Amino acid sequence: MKKSLKLFSVAVALFIVFAGIGYYAVKSSAYMDVSQVLKLDHRAKVTVRGYLVGTQYDAQAKKLYILLEGKDGSKLVAVADAKYIEDKYGPIQYLQWDPNNVVLQGIYDPQHKVLVVTDILEGCHSNYGQPAART
Amino acid sequence: MPNTDKIAYLLVIVFVLDALVGSYAVLRAPYPAFVNLGSPAAYLNIYIHVPVAMISYVLYTGAFIAAILYLAKHRERYDRYVYAFTLVATLYAAYVLVSGSIWAHESWGSYWNWDPRETGVLLLFLAYLVYFALRSSIADPDRRPVVSATYAIAAYAMVPISYAAPRIASSSLHPTKALLQGFMEQPEVRAIFYTKVLLVLLIGLLAVKLYVDKEALSPRARRALKLSILVSVLVMLSIAGYLSAQYSGGKVTRVYAVFGSPSDAKLLVKMGNEFTNITIAENLSKYVVEGRIALVGHVVKLVGLQDHAAKKLEVLVPSCVILDFIFYALFISGLGYTLLRRETSIGEEEL
C-alpha cells in the first residue's frame, strides 16, 4: 500500500510536469497578434493573425499588399509576392478572404515595419457553417 | 467457441464494415459547399481523419486507467492492457499526424504549420513513443511494468492538452467543437460521421482485447482475421484506384472562379502557367447550392476540351483524400500485422 502510494505520487508529479510542458508548448504555438509583431525589434520569422482591413495589388511590381489590424487596432502592412500567391491560390482578384480569420507567415522587418509574406494560411472555421453538399 | 475467437470474428465483421462505410464516405458523403482555400471535397477527410483522432484519445484514456489499476493492484493482466492500449493508440496517433498533414497541405496551404493542435498531437505521440523506449530499456522484468505504468500515467497529461489546444492557444487553424457543430448537425453528415466513429472505436477496443489474449486465438479465427484485413484493404485500395482513375480521360485543373448562370457558365481555370476562361456546354445547375454555383476550389476534369470550351465537367475527389484513404488502408494492415504477429517457440516472429 505504501509502495503504491509512493508510485502514484511519482506518477502525479510527472503528470504535472508533462502538463506544464505541454501547456507551455501549445500556448507558445499560438499565432501572434499584429500588436505583438509590431513590438519586435529584430528580424524574425513570425506567424501572425489579424483582421483583414484591405488588400491592394500592384500589377507592375507583381506585389500584393495586405493590411492587417490587431486586437488593439494597430496595423501591419504585409507584402506578398503575387506570383507565388497566384501559383498557390489562383488569381489574386479571385482570392476568397474571411476578413476575421487571416493568418500570414513571413519575415518581419522592424526597420520598415513590414512583414514580407512567405505564406498565407487561412483558418477553416467559417467552412463548417456552410451548407453541406455533394457537388 | 472461446471468447477470444468470438472477439476475432466480431472484429472481422467490423473491419469489413469500416472499409465499406469509409468507401461510401469518400464516394458519396457531403462536405462544405464553399471554402476559403483548396478543394471543398478535401473536407471528406472529416470522415477519415477525425474519427481516428477522436478514438486515439479514448484509447490513451484506456491506457491511463489500466496503468492506475496496475499500480493499485499489481496484476500482470493490467500491464498487458496498458501496453496494448498504448500500442494501438499510438498507431492511431501516427495515422492522425500523417493524414492531418496531407489534408493541411490542401486546405491550409502547407503540410505543417505548428498549429496548436498539431503541436499538441505531435507532443502526445512523442511522449508515448518514449513509453516503448523506456519499457524496452528496463531489463528487470519486475521493475519494467511498474516504471512503464508510472510513465503511462504521466504521459496522459498530453491528452487533455492536445484536445483543448485550440482553446488554450488564443488562435488556431483547427476549429473548436462549437464551430463544428453547425456542419455536424446536418443529418447525412451525422449519420456517416458517427457510424465511422463507432466503427473506429470498435476496431480499437477489439484490437486491444485481442492483442492481450492473442495467444488464445485459434488458427481458424486467425485465418478469418487475416482474410478480413486483406478484403478491407483491397476494398479501400480499389476505391482509391477508382478515384485516381477518374483523373484520366480529360484535362484536370482547378476552378478559381465561376461566372455566368448555370446554363451559360464560364470557369476560370489554370492551363499550364496561364489562367484562362473556359466555357462549359453542360448545364451546371446540379452544382448550385443556395443560389451559387459551388465549384470554386474544386479539382475538375474538363471533357471534350477544344478552343477554350469544354463539353462536360466532372468534379474529382482531391488527391489528399485519396492519399489519406490509401494511408488508412495501410494503417489497418499495420494494425492487423500487430495483432497477428506472434513468436514461435524459438522466438522468431511469424504471421
Q: Are residues B174 and B42 in the same domain?
A: yes
Q: Are residues B184 and B81 in the same domain?
A: yes
Yes or no, beta carbons of B165 and A90 under 8 Å apart? no
What is the pLDDT confidence band of residue B346, given thresholds at 50, 70 and 90? very low
Q: Are residues A25 and A37 in the same domain?
A: no
Q: Are residues B289 and B212 in the same domain?
A: no
Residue B216 has a pLDDT of 85
Determine the Cα–Cα distance for residues A131 and A129; give it in Å rounded to an integer.
7
What is the pLDDT confidence band of residue A124, given thresholds at 50, 70 and 90? very low
Q: Are residues A74 and A119 in the same domain?
A: yes
What's the grid cell of residue B118? 498539431
Contact by Cβ (8 Å): B255, B294: no
% of chain A residues with pLDDT over 70: 91
C-alpha distance from residue B269 to each of A94, B103, B338 (Å): 11, 22, 46
pLDDT at residue A133 above 80? no
Averaged pLDDT for residues B206-226 = 92
Nearest-Å Rg of the Cα atoms of chain B is 23
C-alpha distance from residue B315 to each of B248, B286, B291 (Å): 13, 11, 19
Q: Does residue A135 belong to any structural domain of this protein? A: no
Q: What is the pLDDT of residues B59-105, one digit of tens each?
A: 999 999 999 999 999 999 999 999 999 999 999 999 999 999 999 99
The answer to pTM > 0.95 is: no
Q: Are residues A38 and A64 in the same domain?
A: yes
Q: Does residue A133 belong to any structural domain of this protein? A: no
Residue A4 has a pLDDT of 79
Across chain B, mean pLDDT equals 91
Inform me whether the C-beta atom of residue B177 falls under 8 Å from chain A C-beta atoms: no
Q: Are residues A38 and A25 in the same domain?
A: no
Residue A76 has a pLDDT of 96
Q: Are residues B270 and B332 in the same domain?
A: no
Residue A128 has a pLDDT of 56
Averaged pLDDT for residues B156-166 = 92
Averaged pLDDT for residues B226-249 = 96
Q: Are residues B146 and B94 in the same domain?
A: yes
% of chain B residues with pLDDT over 90: 76
Q: Are residues A59 and A109 in the same domain?
A: yes
C-alpha distance from residue B118 to each of A73, A102, B173, B307, B339 (Å): 29, 18, 9, 45, 28
Q: Are residues B229 and B301 in the same domain?
A: no
| Residue A73 structural domain | 32-123
Nearest-Å Rg of the Cα atoms of chain A is 21
Q: Are residues B309 and B339 in the same domain?
A: no
Q: What is the ipTM of this complex?
A: 0.82
B175 interaction partners in chain A (CB closer than 8 Å):
123-125, 128
Q: Does residue A134 belong to any structural domain of this protein? A: no
Q: Does residue A68 belong to any structural domain of this protein? A: yes
From the list A12, A21, A122, the residue facing B36 with the nearest CB is A122
A11 interaction partners in chain B (CB closer than 8 Å):
67, 71, 149-150, 153-154
Q: What is the pLDDT of residues A57-75, one digit of tens each?
A: 998 999 999 999 999 999 9
Q: Are residues A52 and A98 in the same domain?
A: yes
Averaged pLDDT for residues B233-239 = 97
A86 interaction partners in chain B (CB closer than 8 Å):
275
What's the grid cell of residue B186? 446536418
CATH, residue A113 = 2.40.50.140
| Residue B267 structural domain | 251-316
Inform me whether the C-beta atom of residue A133 falls under 8 Å from chain B C-beta atoms: yes
Chains A & B: contacts with CB separation below 8 Å: 195
Residue A135 has a pLDDT of 63
Q: Are residues B286 and B147 in the same domain?
A: no
Q: Are residues A18 and A77 in the same domain?
A: no
Inform me whether the C-beta atom of residue B158 falls under 8 Å from chain A C-beta atoms: yes
Q: Are residues A12 and A52 in the same domain?
A: no
- Segment holding B138, helix H or strand E: none
Q: What is the pLDDT of residues A84-121, one digit of tens each?
A: 888 777 887 777 777 887 889 899 999 999 999 988 87
pLDDT at residue B174 above 80? no
pLDDT at residue A127 above 60? no
Q: Does residue A57 belong to any structural domain of this protein? A: yes
Domain count for chain B = 2
DSSP class of residue B318 equals -
Q: Does residue A13 belong to any structural domain of this protein? A: yes
Yes or no, beta carbons of B268 and A94 under 8 Å apart? yes
Q: Are residues B325 and B311 in the same domain?
A: no
CA distance B285 to chain A (A): 10
Inform me whether the C-beta atom of residue B147 falls under 8 Å from chain A C-beta atoms: no
CATH, residue B302 = 2.40.50.140
Q: Are residues B142 and B14 in the same domain?
A: yes
B157 interaction partners in chain A (CB closer than 8 Å):
15-16, 18-19, 22
Q: N- to C-terminal Cα distance for chain B?
A: 22
Q: Does residue A128 belong to any structural domain of this protein? A: no
Listed in sequence order, the residues at least 6 apart from B279 whose beta carbon sits closer than 8 Å to its beta carbon are: B265, B266, B308, B309, B310
A23 interaction partners in chain B (CB closer than 8 Å):
161, 168
CA distance A56 to chain B (A): 19
Q: Are residues A19 and A38 in the same domain?
A: no
Among A36, A45, A100, A127, most B C-beta atoms within 10 A, so best to mutate, is A127
Residue A131 has a pLDDT of 67
Residue A125 has a pLDDT of 44
Q: Are residues B180 and B291 in the same domain?
A: no
pLDDT at residue A44 above 80? yes
C-alpha distance from residue B330 to each of B84, B92, B321 (Å): 19, 12, 14
Determine the Cα–Cα distance for residues A117 and A48; give it in Å rounded to an integer.
10
Q: What is the pLDDT of residues B97-137, one digit of tens each?
A: 999 999 999 988 889 988 888 999 999 999 999 999 999 99
Q: Does residue A19 belong to any structural domain of this protein? A: yes
Inform me whether the C-beta atom of residue B162 falls under 8 Å from chain A C-beta atoms: yes
Domain count for chain A = 2
